[in-house]
Chain A
Amino acid sequence: MAISRNEVEKVALLARLSLSPDELHAMTRQLGDILGYVDQLSQLDTEHVEPMAHALDVTNCFREDRAQPSLDRELALANAPRRDEECYLVPAVLGEL
């Protein structure tokens, strides 16, 4: 099972990864290997097996709607690369073109 260089480029773009030509080459080969490995599963006969949406055969796990104390703001912002008193800081987000 192979993956094309174009597909890897597209996935990298969506994941906001910038890959050098060498990395792109290596990644295309490695992702192809992984897909090929997983593709072995298609050899199994699943004719009479119900499709599953989840690995666990458990459903309906809920918590009650009760608010609990949140993280202290200092703790929440502790790992932010950039921040001010109250917020995370990121490069400008502008909606319009």
Chain B
Amino acid sequence: MSAPYTIIIGLEVHVQLLTESKMFCSCSTKFGAPPNTQTCPVCIGMPGSLPVMNRKAFELALKTAVALNCEIPRFTKWDRKNYYYPDLPKGYQISQFDLPMSHDGWLEIETKPLSPLPVGEGSGVRAANSRVTRPHPNSLPEGEGIVSSSTTKRIGIIRAHLEEDAGKSMHDEVAGKADSRIDLNRAGTPLLEIVSQPDLRSPAEAKTYLTELKLLLNYLGVSDCNMQEGSLRVDANINLHIDTPQGRIATPIVEVKNMNSFRAVERALAFEAERQYRQWQETGHKLGEVPKSTRGWDEGSQTTREQRAKEESSDYRYFPDPDLLPVTITTEEVERVRASLGELPAALRARLEQTYGIAAYDSDVLVNQGRLLVDYYFRVAKTCGDGKTASNWMQQDVLRWLNEHQVDIGQYPVAAETLGELLAKVRGGAFDTSRGRQVLAAMLESRLSLGDAIRQVGIEEVGESAVIELCRQLLQANPKIVAEVRDGKPKGIGALIGQAKKKNPNVNPARVREICLEMIQKGEV
């Protein structure tokens, strides 16, 4: 049953850019240093100090803006956003107001989940693992059990602009102290604020957008997106459109803050939508009748709570920062950046699906693991000669191992080409999938070469003539089964395969089946 309202969500994402030094001074941006050991006269706002823009921060921001399909104006400048808060030593934040470095872009997301499985941060590994119950990956059709009717939706980006971070205030409520402690290490760290259009229609869609944005930022290498360390922060604006007998009305917009994971964003928005609906039923308040409010997500109680009133935008008294020079960008520079972006997640998924013939769900799992893993996959697929086989093994074997050992593909002990060779042997019928797995396990556990692993598992390649001879003997010894198969009851073949494996564990069961059926059909026995 659907809710009696439409949810309207826009997200503001702040990402810390991967620079060594701060945006306007040379202090380190390294996380975790003792409080107030990474500050200087510029970032603690001493009179007479002068900020100078960090080139790398601007380049990373430009790269992101171009990847988000934004328009890049020829001219951009810095403004002061004035407000008083103890973690803001200058009494203003250097930001961008009327001439931001980029505007009017978009990011495409899949609006329906690619898989019926629960999807979360790092979902690739988890989702892949929940599929290891598949008995024989190669024997099932691709995309089995998967909802593939997802549609692409374009989420508008209003603007992406640069600004500096504030410091951190800490308050020890347990100790009941009257003071807050201020650490200014983070003050002046470069942030890119990415503001979406209110195009998102559900908490799940908001989460999908965030996951796709984070993946893009990872591929671009512009941010480590570590939410625990505050490198990626999300604020949401949400309200409802409700159809009433008097026409459609909108509820007051609420800004939700303090969400520390994508899962928290999803839950906070779901809670907030229901809360707004109840509030509207009680008060009848419509958009514009009450001031915009800010609420903080409380993880403990799983609710949102009202925070201090937000100052109106005009109260920030923005004006151009006279200490900083504007930046001009040429069309050639933008085109150079565009050419340097490399293959981004959406294009990579499309290539995997079109060139390697794998399902949307599978390409999504691989791409979500990052470019290094996709490159590994390409090499496996090339060596083994089949994209689907490579994809299955990547998801069921490689990803599971990486997840169990909590490492990334760079530390996987088996080279892509070696895995590819192994898969080529499985495909060629040298041995079956389960024996292939034993070989891979031997390589992983004892760090054996492919040849040694095959020998350790006890596989000796069985020549075609030996298999044919074995099948002939089995069929001659089991006339009853042969007769049944002739009558259209091929069930007994399984028993023959069992006997074949007993006589020679190295025979490929699939090949035994083929040869037996062929011999019976041709009347050779």
Contact = CB atoms under 8 A, between A and B. Distances in A.
Contacts of A90: 86, 169, 179-180, 182
Interface residues of A, number: 37
Chain B interface SS verdict (over half): loop
A14 B54 contact: no
B494 interface: no
Given A76-B44, A89-B181, A95 B308 contact: yes
* Category for how many chain B residues contact A: 35 or more
Contacts of A44: none
A70 to B, nearest CB: 5
A96 B296 contact: yes
A54 to B, nearest CB: 5
Interface string B313-342: 001010010100111100000000000000
Contacts of A86: 34-36, 181, 183
Nearest to B24: A63
Interface in B26-54: 26-30, 34-41, 44, 52-54
Interface stretch (B55-63, B103-111, B373-381, B479-487): B55-63
Contacts of A87: 35-36, 170, 181-183
Interface string B297-313: 00000000111100100
B99 to A, nearest CB: 7
Contact of A70 (B40, B53, B183, B307): B40
A95 B306 CA distance: 9
A67 B178 CA distance: 36
B180 A89 contact: yes
A91 to B, nearest CB: 7
A12 to B, nearest CB: 12
B75 interface: yes
B52 A71 contact: no
Contacts, number: 140
Nearest to A56: B325
A5 interface: no
Nearest to B18: A65
Given A59-B327, A63-B52, A63-B54, A70 B39 contact: yes
A41 interface: no
B86 A93 contact: yes
B326 A65 contact: no
A24 interface: no
A82 B86 CA distance: 13
Given A14-B82, A14-B315, A70 B38 contact: yes
9 contacts: A53-B77, A54-B326, A60-B327, A67-B26, A88-B36, A90-B180, A92-B178, A93-B86, A95-B258
Interface of A: 14-16, 53-56, 58-68, 70-71, 73, 76-77, 82, 84, 86-97
Interface of B: 19-21, 26-30, 34-41, 44, 52-58, 75, 77, 82-87, 99, 169-171, 177-184, 258, 296, 305-308, 311, 315, 317, 320, 322, 325-328
Given A54-B320, A56-B325, A63-B55, 12 more contacts: A14-B83, A54-B325, A58-B325, A60-B328, A61-B325, A67-B27, A70-B27, A76-B184, A86-B34, A87-B183, A92-B171, A95-B296
**9 nearest CB pairs, A to B:** A65-B56, A68-B26, A87-B181, A62-B55, A88-B182, A67-B28, A90-B86, A86-B35, A93-B180
